[in-house]
Amino acid sequence: MMRFSVFTYAAIGFAVLAAGAIVLPDWAMFLFAMALAKGLVCLGIVGMMRGGVVSFGQGLYYCLGAYTATLAANFLGVSDIFLLTLLSAAVCLLVGLVFGPLLSSYRGIFFAMLSLALSMVLYGSLSKMSFIGGTDGLNIGAPTFLGWAPEGRPLQTALYLYVVAIVVISGTLMRIYFDSEQGLITLATRDNELRVEYLGASVRNIMAYNYVFGALLGGIGGTIAAVALGHVDPEFAFWTTSGEFVFVAILAGYLSVPSVFVAAIILEMVRSFSNLYFPNTWQLALGIFLLIVIVALPGGLGSLVSRRKGDPT
């Protein structure tokens, strides 16, 4: 079979998603924008999952990114979305560079729980900081795009297209990274860490890289979610938020990048529709859906379409 380059796929992906800006009604465009923003966070988890570890605390970077953007907007007067994204990404990169090397020697449940502890430390601290809103959180105004300040539908469309662009760029970069030497060593680590070390690669370095990329993606996702919602609160770092990210990552599986965003959109739709039709039992619906996914799709959505050469499955 002829294989298209990753850039062709990226162009197709961008065209399909960008078409949403024309065809989607307002409510769906907001839902998709939120889903794609969260999908970015989940893409970071998937990157770690390829190495066999799952972060239960990605809410840390989601929240950190969201708060960085909000504080920059409220106290420094920055409203440009490109600048806000860059700022949050820089802050999350720094924090990721501190914790990445620390967490890189943990595996399995301990990696999950230590990352969870770090996100809960942020949650606990933010909840008690009354000068930045405490548990009520903060509002953030509408963003501007290089000096352009749209309102209403144009604002939503611009924000949506911005998310789509970031998603396509990050997705493409992550795909290239996954297929690179480093990315393939990550996959090998999943199978057998000790052998990888004996072959001369540093598993700790790889794990740290994957963690830092996860931090970056989490921060960018958090920024976009904050701007789209117009509000941030410490719940962004709460463990149930991180649990949903892990859920999306499991639903997507670690084989395919687009499936991460498809999974994020599915979760967001399941959530809003069960919210609409079973307002009192939407958690129940979500829980049953989650169980069905785990039982019926152990390899994730990606396993349905992706049969990449060289992949173990």
Partner 1 sequence: MDLVATILVDGLIYAGWLFIVSVGLTLVFGVLNILNIAHGSLYAIGAYASASLVGAYFAAGGEAFPYGSYAALILAAILVAVVLGPLLERGLLRYFYGRDEVLNVLVTYAVFLILEDVMKLIWGVNPYFVYEPYTLLGTVEMGSLFYVGYDFAVIGAAIIVGLAVWLTLNRTQIGKVVLAVIHDAEISQTMGVNVKRIYLGAFMAGAFLAALGGALTAPMISVTPGLGVNVIIVAFAVVIIGGLGSVPGAAIGALMVGISRAASVHLLPEAELFIIYFVMAIVLVFRPEGLFAKTQARKI
Applying CB under 8 A, the residues found at the interface with partner 1 are: 54, 56, 102, 105-106, 108-110, 112-114, 116-118, 120-121, 123-125, 127-129, 192-195, 239-240, 243, 246-247, 250, 280-284, 286-288, 290-291, 294-295
* 145 to 27, 79, 162, 163: CA distances (angstroms): 22, 8, 9, 13
State residue 80 phi and psi, 5-degree precision: -70, 125
Q: How far is the CB of 118 from partner 1 (least distance, A)?
A: 6
**CA angle, corner 157, sides to 156 and 163, nearest 5?**
90
Alpha helices in 129-235 (DSSP H): 152-179, 181-191, 193-198, 203-229
User: Count of CB atoms within 10 A of residue 295's CB?
Assistant: 8
Q: Least CB distance from residue 59 to partner 1, whole Å? A: 12
* Minimal distance, residue 284 CB to partner 1, in Å: 4
- Please report how close the Cβ of residue 240 comes to partner 1 at its closest, in angstroms: 7
User: CA-CA distance, 287 to 80, in Å (whole number)?
Assistant: 39
Residue with smaller CB distance to partner 1, 154 or 287 = 287
Select 128 or 153, whichever has its Cβ closest to partner 1: 128
State which residue, 20 or 134, has the beta carbon closest to partner 1: 134
Q: How far is the CB of 68 from partner 1 (least distance, A)?
A: 19
CB 224 within 8 A of CB 41: no
**What single string gives the DSSP state of each residue in 223-249?**
HHHHHHHTEE-GGGGSHHHHHHHHHHH
| Nearer CB in complex with partner 1: 65/253 | 253
As measured in angstroms, the least distance from the Cβ of 33 to partner 1 is 25
Between CA 169 and CA 216 the distance in angstroms is 13
Residue 30 or 247: which CB sits closer to partner 1?
247
Q: How far is the CB of 124 from partner 1 (least distance, A)?
A: 3
> Of 202 and 283, which CB lies nearer to partner 1 in the complex structure?
283
The least distance separating partner 1 from the CB of residue 243, rounded to whole angstroms, comes to 5
Q: Which of 157, 137, 139, 135 is nearest to 230 (CA)?
A: 139
Q: At which residue do the structure tokens 């399995």 appear?
A: 108
- Nearest one of 53, 60, 83, 70 to 239, comparing CA atoms: 60
Helix-then-strand count for the chain, H and E: 13, 2
Listed residue (84, 89, 31) closest to 61, CA to CA: 89
Q: Which is nearer to partner 1, 71 or 237 (CB)?
A: 237
Q: How far is the CB of 153 from partner 1 (least distance, A)?
A: 35
Return d(Cα 127, Cα 131) in angstroms, integer: 10
Specify the residue, 92 or 293, whose C-beta has the smaller distance to partner 1. 293
Q: Based on CB atoms, which residue is closest to partner 1, 118 or 212?
A: 118
Judge whether 61 and 224 are in contact, CB under 8 Å. Answer: no
